[in-house]
Structures are given as C-alpha cells and as structure tokens.
Amino acid sequence: MADTVGMSTDTTELTATAGFRFDNSYARALDGFYAPWQAAQVPAPVLLKFNRALATELALDVDALEGPLGAAVFSGNQLPQGATPIAQAYAGHQFGGFSPQLGDGRALLLGEVIDIHGQRRDIAFKGSGRTPFSRGGDGKAVLGPVLREYLMGEAMHALGIPTTRALAAVATGEHVLREAGPLPGAVLTRVAASHLRVGTFQFFATRGTPEQLKTLADYAIARHDPALVGSEQPYLALLRAVSERQAALIARWIGVGFIHGVMNTDNMTISGETIDYGPCAFMDAYDPATVFSSIDRQGRYAYGNQPGIAQWNLARLAETLLPMLSEDADTAVALATEVVNAFPERYQHHWQAELRRKLGLQGEEPQDEALMNGWLDLLQTQRADFTLAFRHLSDAAVGGDRAALRGLFSEPEPLDAWLARWQARCAPTGDAAPELVEQMRLANPLYIPRNHLVEAALAAAVEQGDQAPFERLITVLQRPFDARSGLDAFASPAPAGAMAGYRTFCGT
C-alpha cells in the first residue's frame, strides 16, 4: 500500500505551500461535539476533477493542487498543514423515524478557511473511510455518486441556488463492495458554509447537556447570523432566520423542478445551503407528485411535498431550542409554534416572487393569482416539460415564434386561451418589452441536469473511463440561462418513454 502514486511522491514540502490557511473554529469551540479522526489511506489516488474556480475563491494554490499534490491531498493520503480532521456528531429523522446517532460515518471535516470574500467555509471529505460514527458502513464512497454530487452541486450553483460545492473528486484505485458488486471507489471534497444541520441540534438536545446545546446555538448564531449576537431572543431569532433561509431555498428548488429526494433532518442545513446530493433529480414533465428515489416508496419527499417537509424539519429544530426560548414551557412552545406556523406564509412569499419572475408578471394585478394557477394547471394536465415550458414562454413573449411552446402541449386550445390572458397582462399594447423577455430568460434556465444526460455522462465516466461527456455536461450547465447554438441535445427532454420508471439511488 505504501508504494503508490499518491504516496510515492513526496508532497510534504508542497503541502505547506498549497495555500490552505486553516482556522478551525468548530474543532476549537465545540470540544465534545466530534471525534478527532484521520482519513484512510488509499492505494492509487487519481485526481479526476478539480474545481479551479472554487479553489481560487478559497485562496488555495490552484496550480500546485492540480498535480500530484491534489491527488494526495484530496484523497486523504496527505494531510494539508493546519487541518484538524474531525468526524462530527449528529442525529436525525430519516423518513420520519428518529435515529439518535448518525454522525459523519464516511465524512471528515478537514477544517475551515476564510475565502477571498471573507466568508468562512468548511472543507470536508466524503468517502474517506470508517469513523466512530460509521455503524455498519464501510465509510467509503463510489465514483458514480461522487461525480453526480460534483455535477449537481455545480449545476445548482450556476442556477444561483445556495449549495455546498465540490472542490475535487479523486478516484482511489480501490474497489468498494456494494449490492451491485465491486464498484470503483472515490473521495469527494466538499465545501460548505458549514455542516451544521438540524440533526446536529437534535443530537445535543437528546444526548448532550443543556450547556452543550447552548454552546452549539451560540456557535451557529456567531457563524451564520452574527447580527443576532446579543439580541434579546437570540435563539428564537435563529429559528426565524433558519426558517427564512429554508423558505427561500425551497422556493428556488421548486422554481427549477429540483427534487432533493432525501430531506431527512440530518440533510437540512442551518446555513440554508442545499446539501447531500444523493438521489436528487430534476423533474421533466410537470407533476407535483414526482418522486425518483428508489427508497422513497411513500413519496414523502416528492417534489410538491418539499415545502411541507421543510416545515416539519423546522418543527424538529424548534423542539430542540425550546429550553432556551423561555423558562416557562408553555411560553416556549407558543413562541416556537408561531415561527414554525409562519413557514407556509414565508414560503409562499418567496415562491410567489419566483413564479412572478418566471412568468414575467411585473407589479401586482388582481388577475395574477388566476394566471399563475392557470399556468401550473395547464402544465400538469398536459404533462408539459417544466423547464422548457417556462423557457419557451419567455421566447414567445414578444409575439415571437410560439411553435416551440405549442409543441410542448398536446392540446393547443387551452394554451392559446391562457396565452391570450397572459399577453393582455404582460404586453397589452403588442410586444412585451425586450427587458421583460431578458428578465424572464434569466429566471428560466434552458439547460438543467436532465436525468438522461446525467446518467449517460456518469456511465461513460465510470464504465468506459471516458470523462469527456461529463466535462461537456458540466461546461454546458455552467451557463444555464445562456442559449448557445449546437446545444439542442442538452436542452431536450429524454426521448418519449426512454426514462419511464427512472429511479435514483442514495450514494451509499
């Protein structure tokens, strides 16, 4: 094991200059909230993907990390100077059932750096071997899901949606045993505003002391809501802030047809970033009941259920905070309930704004609600492609060619009736203003990670070792709003029936 690609190169000197300037506040401030741990050594690390743009943002030495040093560091074989790797403790409700101890079973937080914008960012591994939280698992990750997380995170980022991002993907050179047989192993390096989750609070509310819970809440406030430090009801304000971030986030998911797939409380962040791209997928034909995850048999995490589940998860966060909201239990419950009950209204606020942008509805008119509902009804009844319907509506906005839009609907009459009402609302004197069209195009992506494209790209990379389709897809998805010639295949739904019964799987 010692004589391997990643280890035979002496990278010690380089590591010191790789640019990591760690400042590990979690390890420092939250003793007892984690287990210090080391990544497993891997036999033959190969750096498959390195996110130069993100590395630049993190002020890392991009050129040095692109070579053998990157393979050594991002496989876990070579610890960058200043890293204090830890496995974090957390609990979580998984599909509604509570697991009092989950934790980083196959992840490690290397530490935090301050990026060039002054933001503190976590740098963490996924798939770096067993930890004290691994339970029955092997602590490893498989190449396909690692590349999938890389791609999905970058796509979401390009769509302007808050998300964790991949910094690197390394093939480990070893095989990992899964149900399907031995599969190529990989390590993902992930960057996050933090890895604090609802489940982190649940762990310390059920297993920790009241002091630990307070320490955690104070840490979360200092890190994500520093303006609340010293405020009168900081913990209630924290709950409100998390609720607001989640309301805004879920509205963005809904706006692009994103289905997270496994919204367990351990996969819901305090920061408001999307995290854990396991069985996630984008919806094609519009149907709020859409579910892709093979393990979500009840449709708990269906597209249209996501706002309700976010509220349910927030209620779990609220429960953990109760002892800190008031000495009087009834008062504490009343305060928390008010925030949790306000979630649907906060979500609707964000979603209505999103839908208005997508439909080009400027200002507010009495007929808007009927217009918005009418459009969604139309999409659902005719199972129109969600992404293209909005996008082609933008293109048709200036009385332009409506053929592409019409082509998405099996019955054109109800569409034409709706379009007449929309035209009267948005462009009563004829053509819509070019600014409006431009604004609609910026709200309605043309290129999303369509399931058939993602699967084809991953299959080429994993089965044939051909990374070109994956690279091409990422490149296209980096500019989702920007129509370019020659890319029709990236904007088209899968051929009819080709993805019938499509299922996604958790990355384990």
**Which residues are known to be catalytic?**
266
Residue nearest Mg ion, CB atom distance: 276
Instruction: Please give the Cα distance from 134 to 393 (Å, whole number).
Output: 49
Output 244 or 276, the one with its CB closest to Mg ion: 276
Of 115-144, binders to ligand AMP (CB under 6 A) are 133-134, 137-140
Residue 83 touches which member of Mg ion, ligand AMP, none, C-beta under 5-8 Å by kind: none
Output 177 or 468, the one with its CB closest to ligand AMP: 177
The torsion angles phi and psi of 237, rounded to 5 degrees, stand at: -65, -35
Size of the site for ligand AMP (CB under 6 A): 20
Give min distance, CB of 186 to ligand AMP, in A. Answer: 12
Stretch that binds Mg ion, among 54-62, 265-273, 354-362, 461-469 (CB under 5 A): 265-273
Residue 134 touches which member of Mg ion, ligand AMP, none, C-beta under 5-8 Å by kind: ligand AMP
Contacting residue, 122, 276, 296, 395, with Mg ion by CB under 5 A = 276
Instruction: Please give the Cα distance from 206 to 345 (Å, whole number).
Output: 30
Q: Is 267 in the site for ligand AMP (CB under 6 A)?
A: yes
Instruction: Please give the Cα distance from 358 to 376 (Å, whole number).
Output: 12
> Strand 97-99 vs strand 281-282: parallel, antiparallel, or unpaired?
unpaired
Stretch that binds ligand AMP, among 105-113, 244-252, 319-327, 376-384 (CB under 6 A): 105-113
Residue 106 touches which member of Mg ion, ligand AMP, none, C-beta under 5-8 Å by kind: ligand AMP
Give min distance, CB of 149 to ligand AMP, in A. Answer: 10
Q: Is 103 in the site for ligand AMP (CB under 6 A)?
A: yes
Q: Which of 496, 486, 499 is nearest to 455 (CA)?
A: 499
Output 200 or 267, the one with its CB closest to Mg ion: 267
Stretch that binds ligand AMP, among 104-112, 144-152, 153-161, 423-431 (CB under 6 A): 104-112
How crowded is residue 188: how many other Cβ atoms within 10 Å of its Cβ?
28
Q: Is 174 in the site for ligand AMP (CB under 6 A)?
A: no
Output 70 or 199, the one with its CB closest to ligand AMP: 199
- One-character DSSP codes across 304-337: GGHHHHHHHHHHHHHHHHHHHH-SSHHHHHHHHH
Output 134 or 380, the one with its CB closest to ligand AMP: 134
Q: Is 105 in the site for ligand AMP (CB under 6 A)?
A: yes
Question: Long-range pairs for 364-370 at CB < 8 Å and ≥24 separation?
Answer: 365/425, 367/421, 367/425, 368/425
What residues contact residue 209 under an 8 Å CB cut-off, 6+ apart? Answer: none
Two structure tokens written together for 471? 């690279």
Residues pairing with 385 in the sheet: 285
Output 106 or 240, the one with its CB closest to ligand AMP: 106
Contacting residue, 267, 271, 311, 504, with Mg ion by CB under 5 A = 267
Of 277-296, binders to ligand AMP (CB under 6 A) are 278
Q: Is 354 in the site for Mg ion (CB under 5 A)?
A: no
Stretch that binds Mg ion, among 56-64, 232-240, 259-267, 485-493 (CB under 5 A): 259-267
Residue 506 touches which member of ligand AMP, Mg ion, none, C-beta under 5-8 Å by kind: ligand AMP
- For the chain, the residue count is 508
Contacting residue, 225, 276, 354, 395, with ligand AMP by CB under 6 A = 276
The torsion angles phi and psi of 110, rounded to 5 degrees, stand at: -75, -40
The torsion angles phi and psi of 121, rounded to 5 degrees, stand at: -130, 135
Instruction: Please give the Cα distance from 346 to 107 (Å, whole number).
Output: 33
Q: Which of 477, 478, 456 is nearest to 466 (CA)?
A: 456
Output 70 or 278, the one with its CB closest to ligand AMP: 278
Instruction: Please give the Cα distance from 386 to 255 (Å, whole number).
Output: 9
Residue 149 touches which member of ligand AMP, Mg ion, none, C-beta under 5-8 Å by kind: none
Give min distance, CB of 17 to ligand AMP, in A. Answer: 32
Give min distance, CB of 261 to Mg ion, in A. Answer: 11
Cβ-count burial 13-28 (b if 16+ within 10 Å, e if not): ebbeebbbebebbbbe
Residues pairing with 94 in the sheet: 97
Q: Is 57 in the site for Mg ion (CB under 5 A)?
A: no
What residues contact residue 407 under an 8 Å CB cut-off, 6+ apart? Answer: none
Output 276 or 385, the one with its CB closest to Mg ion: 276
What residues contact residue 463 under an 8 Å CB cut-off, 6+ apart? Answer: none
Residue nearest ligand AMP, CB atom distance: 137
Q: Is 149 in the site for ligand AMP (CB under 6 A)?
A: no
Two structure tokens written together for 30? 């939250």
CA end-to-end distance (rounded Å), the chain: 25
Give min distance, CB of 251 to Mg ion, in A. Answer: 22
Binding site residues, ligand AMP, CB under 6 A: 102-107, 133-134, 137-140, 262, 266-267, 276, 278, 506-508
Applying CB under 5 A, the residues found at the interface with Mg ion are: 267, 276
